[in-house]
Amino acid sequence: MEYINISHKRDHECKIHAVSSEQHESFSVFNILRDSGHWCSRKSDENIPEYIILDLQSNVTIDYVEIMASPNGAGAFPKDIRFEGSLDGQYWMILHIEKKLVLDSDTYRLDIPLSLVRYLKILIITSQRQEGKYYSEIGRVRTGIAGLSEIKASSLSSLSRDTGNLLVEDPEQTWESELKSQSAKESLFIDLGKIFHVNRIILGSAAKGFPENFYIETSSDNNVWLPLLEEKNFTPQVLKKYFWNTDIRPASYIRIEAKSVKYPEGKYGVQLAHLEISAAPFSPFH
């Protein structure tokens, strides 16, 4: 089984594999890999399907595609688009179809299930008609793993100990609950952004405060919650990462509830140095 880290946002580097046309070298398809400039297809009296194929250089997992409009605005953004993925450039899986798109901002965002691909095809079925000509313009294209949508905590010991530290690879940067005079229940609420097939949870210990008793549950709708795993009387070592492989669980939300532990100074709290959630990818190419 594969375990794809869906916690941390990351973009995959890619190259241009193929393109159907270009209006001019100044509107090269290579501009979609840059933060400035744009690609423009050949202008035609009739609608002609266009395409761009990106090579991600190895088999990688993606769950989002983001396309910027050209600096000229959204008027020439494609009207009908089909996204396809492939491992070999020969057999293609339809990832998403967008019809009669009207872009109301400067960015188009597509969220898809975790998909294993080597090549990503942006097939423009219908271009917009501008000044009597059919053509499409797009700016920067990005694809990769979107990362978690939100992490909320029941409490913080200070603003410097917030939940964002859980995604930083630094054991000195931790989330810490409010320190209290007696043991209390603390919790983390994690919004995955969409449904994933969760299959692993990783928690990292700090110098102190790793919970001995905790409970993790999941939900697809933030209404009905199902237990995922539970630990009782767990004895951690400091500055270690622990993982729990689970049954594959469809989930959009995860909640971690933990009983605070007593610090050497006498106060009670929970402290974690790392959080990582993994999910199983979807591959239609077996």
d(CA 255, CA 269): 18
For 68, what's the count of Cα atoms within 13 Å in the CB-facing half-sphere?
16
Q: What is the pLDDT of residue 169?
A: 87
Q: What percent of the chain has pLDDT over 70?
A: 98
Average pLDDT over the chain, rounded to whole? 95
In tens, the pLDDT along 154-211 reads 999 999 999 999 999 888 899 999 999 999 999 999 999 999 999 999 999 999 999 9
At 104 the three-state DSSP class reads coil
In tens, the pLDDT along 25-54 reads 889 999 999 998 999 999 999 999 999 999
> In the structure encoding, which two tokens stand for residue 72, read together?
């000229």
**pTM of the full structure:** 0.88
Q: Average pLDDT for residues 264-269, to the nearest whole number?
A: 95
* CA 179 to the chain's CA centroid: 32
Beta bridge partners of 77: none
Closest alpha carbon to 123 in 98, 100, 88: 98
Q: What is the pLDDT of residue 98?
A: 96
Q: What is the pLDDT of residue 17?
A: 98
Q: What percent of the chain has pLDDT over 90?
A: 92
Q: What is the pLDDT of residue 282?
A: 63
Stated as kind and residue range, the H or E segment containing 123 is: strand 107-126
Q: In the chain, helix, strand, coil percent, each to 5?
A: 5, 55, 40
Q: With 80 as the cut, is the pLDDT of residue 4 above it? A: yes
* CA 77 to the chain's CA centroid: 24
DSSP 73: B
Which phi and psi angles does 162 have, rounded to 5°?
A: -85, 180
Q: Average pLDDT for residues 111-135, to the nearest whole number?
A: 95
Q: What is the pLDDT of residue 286?
A: 45
Q: Average pLDDT for residues 124-132, to the nearest whole number?
A: 94
In tens, the pLDDT along 68-110 reads 999 988 999 999 999 999 999 999 999 999 999 999 899 999 9
Q: Average pLDDT for residues 6-15, to the nearest whole number?
A: 96
Q: What is the pLDDT of residue 283?
A: 52
